[in-house]
A and B are shown apart, each in its own frame.
Chain A
Amino acid sequence: MNGYVVQVENLKVYYPTSSGPVKAVDGVSFNLGAREKLGLVGESGCGKSTLALSLLRLIKPPGRIEGGRILLNGVDLTQLSWDKMRRVRLNQISLIPQGAMNSLNPVMRVRNQIMDGMRAHNQSMSRQELEARVYETLELVGLERNVATMYPHELSGGMKQRVCVAIAISLRPQVVVADEPTSALDVVVQRQVMETIGQLQEELGAAVILIGHDMGLMAQFVERLAVMYAGRLVEAGGIREVFRQPLHPYTQLLISSVPLLDEKGVFRGIPGLTPSLLHVPSGCIFHPRCPQAQDTCTEEVPPLVEVGPSRWVACHRHEVER
């Protein structure tokens, strides 16, 4: 085992529709080191949520994992039986959901929603042990003990999301997948929840995959960043390298479209429309909107090439430099 807790190789997740397959994830590969904070950024419709769900094999039919492997500590999750996979969830890899608002069972107290997860994975724990563990986890996410007996409708948005975080870390998993955990929250509460996840990551030593579209949040939280566009990885690298000199034209435009404080009133967007995953453009998927597109870009699909220590990009312009 080469120090990677998760290795994704050429993962493909398609949604068959009457007019052809929607290629939500079309051959994505990346690695996640133990205790590492990896960001997965992309705009809506780029397949990042599908990727998150596929890591826990939670793709709902008609969606299917078409190909590729997902290795968790060397074990290929795509081959596991339904029940074996169930035992891996929460135990080794857990999910912090996006829709905090109604991810909790409205008719069940917070305590039971944390306990049933733990009980599902080790029946041996006694009731007192479970109860103690619940209070301990609530404290970890900065919630008072009385929250345990409350129902979800009595909690604020931020508190609900922190209960979801508590559930996700209740069995000390090795990997936590956070699928846009704060997209529905206000900026102050967002910071609060993100700082909670950050502290827990250090204390518990779990690897975190943060999935989202907010470049600012990525800059504040993650160590390595991977950029997704229309179902494919276009760039990956250390957070500072990607921000200092983004290699892929899409990443460059993405970073420049996030307004900074010093240039008031200057807006930079990305021309054109996000491509449909049904009729994927030929060659490089970004070529219709890419200001530096050349002929080769429209014909060949640029492979993801390593241009530096764990520094990847999928763009014909960078093949030449190799």
Chain B
Amino acid sequence: MQRFILRRLGVFVLVVWLASTVNFIVPRLAPVNPIRERLLQAVSQGGAAKSDLEQVVAYYEAKFGLDQPLWKQYLNFLWDMLRLDFGVSIANFPAKAMDIILRALPWTLVFLTVAVLIAFAVGTFLGALIAWPRAPRFLQFLVAPLLTLSAIPYYLLGLVLIFLLAFTWRIFPMGGGYDLGLVPKLDLAFLANAAKHSILPALSIVLSGIGSWALGMRGMMVSTLGEDYIALAEAKGLAGREVFMRYAVRNALLPQTTSLALSMGTVAAGAVIVEVVFGYPGVGTILYQAIRSFDYFVIYGVVMMIIVSIGLVTFALDVLYPVLDPRISYERK
């Protein structure tokens, strides 16, 4: 069992190392180092914060020690990444990239985890029911709408939802994380308002997610229902409900959880853009603004934070898997 956890931990470390290496190498591959070029361009434009920008250039020179040999730069870079010190934001100097990200992270984590969990649970259960022969027949008509829903990327569904539920029928706020007048603080009124604002973004992930999870689960259930142990369960005279839950769903859930872990990447990527569409104050919007202003340190910071957090989630799912499937955790005697 320990060997299994160690292996999955190794994978997580590898992912983090991979992400930081890409962040380090890619800018240096481009013909002209984009960071350096952006800084010089900002300095040459002059503008109010001219002196600040000169400090940024100096900071950048010192930090990356461009004269040092490449591998030394690389080691410094890795060390910074481990300490989650992504350097300074060019756009709103002297704020540290990490602080900006930390302010936005809770927004993303809350609404994303809630949405994904609901989508996975409801979608999986619905998919299982559709595949179950003794389930009510009308469920079969859900397949076509579910197919359409799963075909729409989250953020485009978001657009449609804003237009219908916010613009035309004005049930939900148009976007943002909370009403403009409010100051973010942890009291009930603010939290309720923030929740109201997070409903549409979450809904776009839930609706689209339900579609794809349901169809995925339906496929798994169809093959599981053909297994011998289902036939014996029925031969034992077990109630339909029990054969459905403890024999069919319980086994079809295994590959479904694996595909949840594998889909984490696309889910996170979609969520980033959902935030952009809704102007939701999560790391997605931060990334979007950083891209538009070519604020490299913030971009790399956000990318690293998302990859690391998704890595943690995948690691958690991997460790959870042997609990679901005893064959994995027990080494064959």
A, B: real partners: yes
Does B7 belong to the interface (CB within 8 Å)? no
Does A58 belong to the interface (CB within 8 Å)? yes
Q: How far is the CA of A78 from the CA of B251 in the complex (A)?
A: 31
B77 to chain A, nearest CB (A): 45
Output the residue of B133, B232, B233, B330 with the most chain A CB within 10 A. Answer: B232
Q: Please pick, from A107, A153, A154, A167, the residue contacting B236 in the complex, using a CB distance under 8 A.
A: A167
Q: How far is the CA of A108 from the CA of B251 in the complex (A)?
A: 10
Q: How far is the CA of A104 from the CA of B231 in the complex (A)?
A: 10
B68-76, B308-316, B320-328 - interface stretch: B320-328
B230's nearest neighbour on chain A, judged by CB, is: A105
Assess the A107–B330 pair: CB atoms within 8 A: no
Assess the B231–A106 pair: CB atoms within 8 A: no
A65 to chain B, nearest CB (A): 16
Does A97 belong to the interface (CB within 8 Å)? yes
Assess the A97–B237 pair: CB atoms within 8 A: no
Output the residue of B133, B237, B325, B326 with the most chain A CB within 10 A. Answer: B237
Residues 163-187 of chain B, each 1 if its beta carbon lies under 8 Å from chain A, else 0: 0000000000000000000000000
Does A64 belong to the interface (CB within 8 Å)? no
> What residues of B have a CB within 8 angstroms of the CB of A120 in the complex?
236-239, 242
A114's nearest neighbour on chain B, judged by CB, is: B236
Assess the A107–B324 pair: CB atoms within 8 A: yes
**Chain B residues numbered 140-173 whose CB sits less than 8 Å from any CB in chain A:** none
Q: Please pick, from B231, B234, B325, B333, the residue contacting A107 in the complex, using a CB distance under 8 A.
A: B325
Does B229 belong to the interface (CB within 8 Å)? yes
Q: Please pick, from B227, B237, B327, B333, the residue contacting A87 in the complex, using a CB distance under 8 A.
A: B237
Beyond A87-B237, A88-B237, A117-B236, is A97–B231 a contact (Cβ under 8 Å)?
yes
Q: How far is the CA of A103 from the CA of B247 in the complex (A)?
A: 11
Does B332 belong to the interface (CB within 8 Å)? yes
Q: How far is the CA of A105 from the CA of B327 in the complex (A)?
A: 12
Q: How far is the CA of A94 from the CA of B238 in the complex (A)?
A: 12
Q: How far is the CA of A106 from the CA of B228 in the complex (A)?
A: 11
Does A223 belong to the interface (CB within 8 Å)? no
Q: How far is the CA of A94 from the CA of B237 in the complex (A)?
A: 9
Beyond A116-B246, A154-B330, is A102–B229 a contact (Cβ under 8 Å)?
yes
A227 to chain B, nearest CB (A): 25
Q: How far is the CA of A309 from the CA of B49 in the complex (A)?
A: 112
* Interface residues of B, dominant DSSP: helix
Assess the A107–B238 pair: CB atoms within 8 A: no
Our count of residue pairs bridging A and B at CB distance below 8 angstroms stands at 82
B80 to chain A, nearest CB (A): 45
Assess the A105–B229 pair: CB atoms within 8 A: yes
Chain A interface residue count, CB cutoff 8 Å, equals 30
Q: How far is the CA of A106 from the CA of B332 in the complex (A)?
A: 14
Does A164 belong to the interface (CB within 8 Å)? yes
Does A50 belong to the interface (CB within 8 Å)? no
B324 to chain A, nearest CB (A): 7
> What residues of B have a CB within 8 angstroms of the CB of A108 in the complex?
246, 250
Assess the B237–A117 pair: CB atoms within 8 A: yes
> What residues of A have a CB within 8 angstroms of the CB of B236 in the complex?
89-90, 94, 116-117, 120, 167
Q: How far is the CA of A108 from the CA of B232 in the complex (A)?
A: 14
> What residues of A have a CB within 8 angstroms of the CB of B327 in the complex?
106-107, 151, 153
Does A63 belong to the interface (CB within 8 Å)? no
Assess the A95–B325 pair: CB atoms within 8 A: no
Does B62 belong to the interface (CB within 8 Å)? no
Q: How far is the CA of A101 from the CA of B333 in the complex (A)?
A: 18
Output the residue of A90, A91, A107 with the most chain B CB within 10 A. Answer: A107
Assess the A154–B332 pair: CB atoms within 8 A: yes
Assess the A99–B242 pair: CB atoms within 8 A: no
> What residues of B have a CB within 8 angstroms of the CB of A106 in the complex?
229, 251, 326-327
- In the complex, besides A87-B237, A105-B246, 18 extra interface pairs with C-beta distance below 8 angstroms are A56-B235, A58-B235, A89-B237, A90-B235, A90-B237, A91-B237, A95-B232, A97-B228, A97-B231, A97-B232, A103-B229, A104-B232, A105-B233, A116-B242, A120-B239, A120-B242, A153-B332, A167-B232
Q: 25 A–B contact pairs at CB < 8 A?
A: A58-B235, A86-B237, A86-B238, A87-B237, A90-B235, A97-B228, A104-B229, A104-B232, A105-B229, A105-B246, A105-B247, A106-B326, A107-B250, A116-B236, A116-B238, A117-B238, A120-B238, A120-B242, A151-B326, A151-B330, A153-B327, A153-B332, A154-B330, A167-B232, A167-B236
- Chain B residues close to A by CB (< 8 Å): 133, 227-229, 231-239, 242, 246-247, 250-251, 254, 324-327, 330, 332-333
Nearest 5 pairs of A and B residues by beta carbon = A89-B237, A117-B236, A95-B235, A99-B228, A103-B228
